[in-house]
Amino acid sequence: MQVNRELFNEVMVPNYNPSAVIPVKGEGSRVWDQQGNEFIDFAGGIAVNCLGHCHPALVTALKEQGSKIWHLANVMTNEPALRLAKKLTDATFADQVYFANSGAEANEAALKLARRWALDNFGEKKAKIIAFNKGFHGRTFFTVTVGGQAAYSDGFGPKPGEVVHCDYNDLETFKSLIDDDTCAVMMEPLQGEGGIIAPDMDFVKGVRELCDKHNALLIFDEVQTGVGRTGELYAYQGLGVTPDILSSAKALGGGFPIGAMLTTKEIAKHLKPGTHGSTYGGNPLACAVAEAAFDTVNTQQVLEGVKVREQLFRDGLNAINEKYNVFSEVRGKGLLLGAVLNADYQGRARDFLNASVENGLMSLVAGADVVRFTPSLVIPEADIKEGLARFEKAVASLVNA
């Protein structure tokens, strides 16, 4: 069988439009395609491959667990899930964990829990959910409705009700929306898909205070920011604000599918047996790999190293911009960074992504105007330097076209 991009068109549903490049091997921050072409990976599978490709600790964990037990229904628990849950609760505000397969599923669980908590404690009227424009929380119908991008939720029929939105960092509008009928507020502590937009400290603290005033739960979607991405284990730990519920996925498994919802015991008790579930949630293979990823990332050396690498990226991108004048700013935190295109290049982020691939670099976009970088948290400094050199060639090819 000839496996190529044309086969995708034949056998796959066309909801994706992938590159012609088909990677077949990865090691660290380098990837090779079917033809043996090498790429430096600044994309990380969209902030997933927190330790790069085929990290020895993850490979070892997968092999060891793979020879023990693969799957159990949730009528039984398993050792990797319990160990991982204990480590997550020890390292965060949370007391208890619910495991799922993805960030969308973790967010779905968070939203359902918030609604059930409000119903049990306050009655049916307390159902409003407030979220933020340009937010992204997954692709289930509930999460895509809560996400603040109508292009993702329109066209599928009637949407779940009692969901309202306002602009991120707009505390005054938020004040006008929140009331005693609000059950939850869902927000990213740094917007990813919406353009790498950081929160104002006063905004985050104001949201927390207003949630407390109106007995609403604060849900932090840390699917993209969590597990070391910002230089803290979770981004909330650098904001001075603690959520009531937190979702985690992407980097949690280092590339193996897993999601988690973290919360307090008092809130968690409202998900009684039978109220929610997931066939593969807490899968032993996934939890064993995630435990190895968590143990590797949750060290001072790795978390401090993220901040060092952030500065290398910023310095390199600023140097490129001094020569070519294509960015208005570089924003974000840790290794969740966005180079924002200036007025002359607005709407052309995908052109920069395509030019990067042609020059041996994998990058991302965050909307039409932002080139996004979410590499491995342990990417070697030499790979950062070489990757930025390839990105400069991509920029030059567009500027000089």
User: Residue 100's beta-bridge partner residues?
Assistant: 259
Same fold, 5-55+300-399 and 57-297: no
Query: What SS3 state is found at 138?
Result: coil
**Is 136 annotated among the ligand-binding residues?**
yes
Could you please state the CATH topology (level 3) that the domain comprising 57-297 is classified under. Answer: Aspartate Aminotransferase; domain 2 (3.40.640)
Q: In Å, what is the CA distance from 4 to each residue of 323, 359, 373?
A: 38, 21, 27
Question: Is 52 annotated in some ligand binding site?
Answer: no
> 229: Cβ–Cβ under 8 A, 6 or more apart, which residues?
47, 50, 235, 251, 306, 334, 335, 336, 374, 377
Tens of pLDDT, residues 95-147: 999 999 999 999 999 999 999 999 999 999 999 999 999 999 999 999 999 99
The answer on whether 224 is annotated among ligand-binding residues is yes
Q: Measure the CA–CA gap between 61 and 322, rounded to whole angstroms.
A: 45
Q: Is 136 marked active-site?
A: yes
Q: Which of 41, 99, 174, 221 is catalytic?
A: 221
What is the full DSSP assignment across 114-127?
A: HHHHHHHHH-TT--
| Residue 42 CA neighbour count, 13 Å, CB half | 32
User: Per the annotation, does 278 bind a ligand?
Assistant: yes
**Residue 103, marked binder:** yes
Please state, in angstroms and rounded to a whole number, the distance separating the CA atoms of residues 242 and 236. 6
What does the alpha-carbon distance between residue 258 and residue 167 come to, in Å, rounded to a whole number?
30
Q: For residue 63, what pLDDT is reported?
A: 98
Catalytic residue chosen out of the listed positions 220, 250, 294, 373: 250
157 is in an annotated binding site: no
Q: What six digits make up the tokens of 274?
A: 């039978």
Write down the catalytic residue from 42, 136, 174, 256: 136
Digit-coded pLDDT (tens) for 8-32: 999 999 999 999 999 999 999 999 9
Q: Are 398 and 360 in contact (CB under 8 A)?
A: no
Q: Look-up: residue for tokens 């119908």? A: 141
For residue 392, give every residue at least 6 positions away whose Cβ sits within 8 Å of its Cβ, in sequence order, or none. Answer: 320, 323, 324
Does the annotation place 357 within a ligand binding site?
Answer: no
Domain spans of the chain, in order of start = 5-55+300-399, 57-297
* 265 classed as catalytic: no
**352: annotated binding-site residue?**
no
Residue with tokens 């897993």: 258
Q: Residue 401 has what pLDDT?
A: 83
pLDDT of 31: 98
**368 labelled binding-site residue:** no
Query: φ and ψ at 69, to 5 degrees?
Result: -150, 140
Q: What is the pTM of this model?
A: 0.96
Distance of CA 160 to the CA centre of its chain: 23
Name the residue with tokens 């590797």.
Answer: 296
pLDDT at position 262, please? 98
Q: Is 139 annotated as a binding residue?
A: yes
Q: Is 221 a catalytic residue?
A: yes
Divide the 401 residues of the chain into consecutive groups of 10 and give the mean pLDDT of each group: 93 93 97 97 98 98 98 95 98 98 98 98 97 95 92 90 96 98 98 94 98 98 98 97 98 98 98 94 98 98 98 98 97 98 97 97 97 98 98 97 83
Q: Give the whole-angstrom CA distance, residue 108 versus residue 141.
A: 9
5-55+300-399 is classed CATH 1.10.1060.10: no
Q: Cα–Cα distance between 172 and 183 in angstroms, integer?
A: 19
